[in-house]
Structure 1
Amino acid sequence: MKESARKALFTQVEHLLNEYCEGCFVHRQLKREGGRRTAHRFCISQCTVGQKIQEYGKKLT
């Protein structure tokens, strides 16, 4: 993969994290109720933004 394509993917991931994940109410609430692990599991398996980030990650490898 070209370096410019990798940089573009990283930029997209960073944008998603800053736009949607920073201060996410759902993550914060799940973290309070069920702990960090529960909140993280939700982000990976059920959150649409988390799934999009995973797609970008697969493209990087």
Structure 2
Amino acid sequence: MRDTDRKELLNHLENVMVHYCDGCFLHQHVKNEGGRRAAHRFCITECTIGEKLQELGKKLS
């Protein structure tokens, strides 16, 4: 992967996280109910944005 492609992908990942994840009500609710680990697990396994982030992250490898 070229360095410029990698930078573009990282910028895209950051934009998605800022737009959708910052201040996420669901993350905050799950965190309050089940703790930080439960909230992280929710984001990774159940959130559609988390799934999209994982797909984009796999392209970095």
Bin the TM-score by the shorter chain. over 0.9
Scaled by the length of structure 1, the TM-score of the pair is 0.97
State the distance in 2 between where 1:33 and 1:18 align.
Answer: 23
C-alpha RMSD over aligned residues:
0.5
Percent identity over paired residues: 54
Q: Is residue 41 of structure 2 the alignment partner of residue 53 of structure 1?
A: no
The amino acid that maps onto 1:12 is H
Once the two structures are superposed, the pairs formed by residues 16-31 of structure 1 within 5 Å of their partners are 16-31=16-31
Unaligned 5+ segments in structure 2 are none
Unaligned 5+ segments in structure 1 are none
**Aligned positions, number:** 61
Point out 4+ residue stretches in structure 1 off by more than 2 angstroms.
none
- TM-fit CA distance, 1:57: 0.8
Scaled by the length of structure 2, the TM-score of the pair is 0.97
